[in-house]
Amino acid sequence: MDPKRIMVIGGGPGGYVAAIRAAQLGGRVTLIEKDRIGGTCLNRGCIPTKTLLHDAKLLRSFKNSPLFKFVTPDPSGLLQSMMERKEQVIDELVKGIELLLNSYRVKLVRGEAHLLSSKQVEIVREDRGREILEADAILLAPGSVSKILSHLRLDREKIITSDEALELRETPREMVIVGGGYIGVELATFFHTLGSKVTIVEILENILPGMEEEVVRNLRRIFEKERIQIFTGSTVEEICETGTRVGLKINTPKGRIDLSCEKLLLAVGRIPNISSALTQVGIEYTPQGIKVNSYLETSLPDVYAFGDAVGEMMLAPVAMAQGVLAAENAMGSRREWKKPLIPLCIFSYPEIASVGLTEREAKERGPIKIGRFPFRSNPKAVLSGEPEGWIKVIASQEEDAILGIHILGAEANLLASVALTMIGRKLGEFTQFIQAHPTIPEALREACLDVDGLAIHLPKSIRGKG
């Protein structure tokens, strides 16, 4: 029997992962990508921001270290060299994925795909050359694009999105960030560390909507202590561009405020990339994304969609997991997509990781108990110069089952992986283990012990308090 012909449209984390899985299962796979392989995550999102934030964290540690006074730092060209390293990291990872695809004999076709039917795709190459390819199943993973606010004209010089922010070669003196979501908070951390005066303008009553409220309250306190200005319940009403600067009038709960900055960054969310090239053949969609059923099938037979384009959770690991599932279904399985338990990680300073239910959500389900442990009482956090923040563990009153773990501080993103495996288990299943010393996981164990008032390194008077 001839191998099944699978065509994947979009080479981001959803698409390239789907291509590899389909090939592993014996498919003859073609992957169409108009840009560089890796999509937003690798080229303009997760990887470049985390590379820059990694260097910013080193800079912060170095500045806080006594070693700092023994060297004369030369800050000229700092951002430029960070950007160069970021490019090297992207190039290396892009090459790695191309090698992977090659090893699985995935045929990579450069060009823009236009869906002609559930079996046919027309490819328009950069040189405007065209060809029509056929497949037994088509997997759509076109990703998402930055949301724009119609009254703020994007000139990509002074008024920019994260795409341009990740290409800046000079640190702006001031940056106003519209939107206090994931991108807003991570880029606020980065540009603040490099010396920009950063202001966040968020329309809702707090930044990071949906995140555990106590974590957000504490992050906000730390941001404001470091002089990152935050206006919540606020919107940009008017802008006026003069020379190299942008003047803004913002509406805040306390009245109108005038601001001025070198860069105005829009980080107000992303929207599914639904172009008519993919939907002209009658695929159903809404502004929230391409419509799929629980098998990730679209309204067209043998056409699947996943990742940011279906708009459920715009996160790279979700796109990857959905890509695997769609590829397996296209190759003959019948697996259903179920909303996963995944850690939410933000690479701010301090870092944030959140797994399971928030306190508010947990309370709706019944009586709970809470333990907290501050990093200031953890030797590893102190010796690493990262004493800010704490860990909060939420457990059910009766069953002792862990319902949620929320971390603000040292190694939060690494701890998230352990925290994930603890959700639904009893507190004692984790506290029975002795952790290495001195390590950050000791703080997680102490937070679990504090749920029942048994943390050792907490004075009796502050047990259970944040």
| Helices marked H in 226-306 | 276-279
Q: Which is nearer to ligand NAD, 198 or 346 (CB)?
A: 346
Nearer to ligand NAD, 201 or 381 (CB): 201
What residue ranges bind ligand NAD (CB under 6 A)?
149, 178-184, 186, 201-204, 209, 235, 267-270, 314-315, 345-347
Q: Which residues contact 18 (CB under 8 A, 6 or more apart)?
A: 8, 139, 141, 306, 323, 324, 326, 327
Task: Confirm if 425 and 432 have CB atoms less than 8 A apart.
Answer: no
Q: Locate tokens 């928030």: which residue?
A: 358
For ligand NAD, give the closer residue by CB, 147 or 335. Answer: 147
CB atoms within 10 A of CB 70: 7
Determine which helix (DSSP H) or strand (DSSP E) holds 175, and give its type and residue range: strand 174-178
Q: Give the tokens for residue 325.
A: 């599932």
Give the residue with the Cβ less far from ligand NAD, 27 or 39.
39
Distance in Å, CB of 234 to ligand NAD, minimum: 7
Annotated catalytic residue: which of 114, 151, 437, 457? Answer: 437
Q: How far apart are CA 202 and CA 233, in angstroms?
A: 6
The least distance separating ligand NAD from the CB of residue 433, rounded to whole angstroms, comes to: 28
What are the φ/ψ torsions at residue 17 (nearest 5 degrees)?
-65, -40
Which of 214, 222, 186 shows the shortest CA–CA distance to 387?
222
* Least distance (Å) between residue 149 CB and ligand NAD: 5
Q: Where in 253-374 does DSSP place strands (E)? A: 255-261, 263-266, 270-272, 285-286, 289-290, 303-305, 344-346, 352-356, 368-374
Tell me the closest approach of the beta carbon of residue 397 to ligand NAD, in angstroms.
Answer: 32
Q: Indicate the residue among 45 and 111 with the shorter CB distance to ligand NAD.
A: 45
Give residue 324's identity as a one-letter amino acid code.
Answer: V
Catalytic status, residue 437: yes
CB of 297 to ligand NAD, least distance (A): 23
Q: Which is nearer to ligand NAD, 296 or 412 (CB)?
A: 412
Greatest Cα pair distance, the chain, in angstroms, is: 74
Break the chain down into helix, strand, coil percent, rounded to 5.
35, 25, 40
Residue, CB closest to ligand NAD: 181
The nearest distance, CB 438 to ligand NAD, in angstroms, is 27
Q: Is 392 helix (H, G, I), strand (E, B) or coil?
A: strand
Q: What residues act catalytically?
A: 437
